[in-house]
Amino acid sequence: MASTPLQDLAASLHDCQRCKLAKLGRSQVVFGVGNPHASIMFVGEAPGFNEDQKGEPFVGAAGKLLNDLLLSADLSRDHIYIANVIKCRPPNNRDPEPDEVETCKPFLLQQIQLIRPKLVCTLGNWATQTLLERKVGITKVKAQAFYLKDFVLFPLLHPAAALHQGNLLPTLKEDFKKLKEFLDKNTKPAEPAPGNPATGQTLQIDSPTPEQISLF
C-alpha cells in the first residue's frame, strides 16, 4: 500500500539532523500521533523524557491529565491528532531555543497543512506564540477562539503547568469546559454524501464576526 504524504513527512524526519538537538541526547524524533483526518489538532511544546522514550507526544503524567481533560470535552485521542512544535526532546526539558523553533516550525506547519484541522488547540506559551506569530502570554489569550487564515486557534494552558502549579488545575478544567462549549456550538449533523446518508456529527466553524478577527 502506498504511503500517505503525512507518513512520508514522518519518514523524512526519522533521523533528523537539522538542529543541535540531534546531538544533545534525544533518543528519537517524536513526530505526532492520532487521526490523520482529524478536524481537531492539539499542539504542545516539545517531548519530555517519557515521550522521548516512547516516541509519542503526551504519554507521561501530563499526557494522563490531557486524556482526562479530553474526556471532559467529549473527545478522545481517536478523534484528534497530537504533535509538538519541537520534535526532539531538549536536554533536561529546558525551553526550546529560537533556532530550534525556526528549524522545526516548517514541519509543524506541514503537518497542519496535510491534516487540515478546522481547530488547532495550542497547549502553553510556546505553541501559542509559534502559531499566532507574536509574543503573547498564554493567560491573556487562553480559552478564546482566534480565526486565522486556514484554521481557528484555541489556546489552552499546558497540562504540565497545572501539574507543577496545582492552583492552575481548576483554571485548566474550566478552559476545557469552554472548549467543549465552543465545540458544541460549532458541531452540526454531518452533510450526506451522494448516495450515502449522513452519519454522525461534523465540526463546522462559522465565519467570525468582524470583532472576532482582531486579536485584542
Which amino acid does the sequence have at 55?
G
Domain that holds residue 46: 5-188
Mean pLDDT, rounded, for 165-191: 92
Q: Is residue 201 part of a domain?
A: no
156 and 141 Cβ atoms separated by less than 8 Å:
no
- Separation of alpha carbons 10 and 205, rounded Å: 29
Which strands form 146-147's sheet, in the order they lie side by side? Answer: 33-34, 81-84, 40-44, 119-122, 152-153, 146-147
Q: Is residue 171 part of a domain?
A: yes
- pLDDT above 90 covers what percent of the chain? 84
Read off the CATH number of the domain in which 130 is found: 3.40.470.10
Q: Is residue 213 part of a domain?
A: no
Q: Is residue 198 part of a domain?
A: no
Q: Is residue 127 part of a domain?
A: yes
Look up the pTM and report it.
Answer: 0.91
What was the pLDDT predicted at 211?
44
Q: Is the pLDDT of residue 74 over 90?
A: yes
SS3 state at 203: strand
125-152 pLDDT per residue, tens: 999 999 999 999 999 999 999 999 999 9
Query: What's the number of domains the chain is made of?
Result: 1
Within 2-158, residue ranges assigned H as helices are: 5-12, 49-54, 61-72, 98-115, 125-132, 138-141
32-62 pLDDT per residue, tens: 999 999 999 999 999 999 999 999 999 999 9
What was the pLDDT predicted at 200?
60
Q: Is residue 207 part of a domain?
A: no
What was the pLDDT predicted at 195?
53
What was the pLDDT predicted at 1?
78
Q: Is residue 73 part of a domain?
A: yes
Q: Is residue 204 part of a domain?
A: no
pLDDT band of residue 206 (cuts 50, 70, 90) is confident
